[in-house]
Amino acid sequence: MALSSFWVSLFIIVFTITGSIPATAEDSESKEFVVTLDHSNFTDFVAKQKLIVVEFYAPWCGHCKKLAPEYEKAASILSTLDPPVVLAKVDANEEQNKVLASEYEIRGFPTLKILRYGGSVVQEFKGPRDADGIVSYLKKQSGPASFEIKSAEDASSVVDEEKILVVGVFPEFSGEKFDNFTTLAERLRADYEFGHTLDAKLLPRGDSSAAGPLVRLFKPFDELFVDSQEFEVDTLVKFVEETSIPTVTLFNKDPKHHPFVIKFFNSQDAKAMLFLNFGSEQFEAFKSKYHDVAQQYKGKDLSFLMGDLEASQGAFQYFGLKEEQVPLIVIQTNDGQKYLKPNVEPDQIASWVKDFKDGIVQPFKKSEPIPEANSEPVKVVVADNLQDIVFNSGKNVFLEFYAPWCGHCKKLAPILDEVAVSFENDADVIIAKLDATANDIPRETFDVKGYPTLYFKSSTGNVLQYDGDRTKEAIIDYIQKNRATVAKEDSRKEEL
Q: Which residues are catalytic?
A: 61, 64, 406, 409
Q: What is the rounded distance in angstroms from the CA atom of residue 22 to the CA atom of residue 350? A: 57
- Residue-wise DSSP of 74-135: HHHHHTTSSS--EEEEEETTSGGGHHHHHHTT--SSSEEEEEEGGGTEEEE--S-SSHHHHH
CA dist., res. 63 & res. 251, Å (int):
25
Between CA 466 and CA 75 the distance in angstroms is 44
Q: Is the distance from CB of 164 to CB of 209 less than 8 angstroms? A: no
Please enumerate, as own/partner, the contacts of 437-441 that have beta carbons within 8 Å and a separation of 24 or more: 437/403, 437/404, 438/320, 438/366, 438/368, 438/382, 439/366, 439/367, 439/368, 439/381, 439/382, 439/383, 439/386, 440/338, 440/365, 440/366, 440/367, 440/383, 441/383, 441/386, 441/401
Could you give phi then psi for residue 423, rounded to 5 degrees?
Answer: -105, 15
Taking a C-beta distance cutoff of 8 angstroms, is the pair 37, 304 a contact?
no
CB 93 within 8 A of CB 60: yes
Residues 6+ apart with CB under 8 A from 405: none
Q: CB of 398 within 8 A of CB of 419? A: yes
DSSP string, 247-276: SEEEESS-GGGHHHHHHHHHSSSEEEEEEE
The three state secondary structure string of 59-84 is: CCCHHHHHHHHHHHHHHHHHCCCCCC
- Tell me the H-state helices in 269-400: 283-296, 313-319, 349-357, 386
Helix residue ranges, H only, 442-495: 472-495
Number of neighbours of residue 438 by Cβ within 10 angstroms: 15
206: number of Cβ within 10 Å: 18
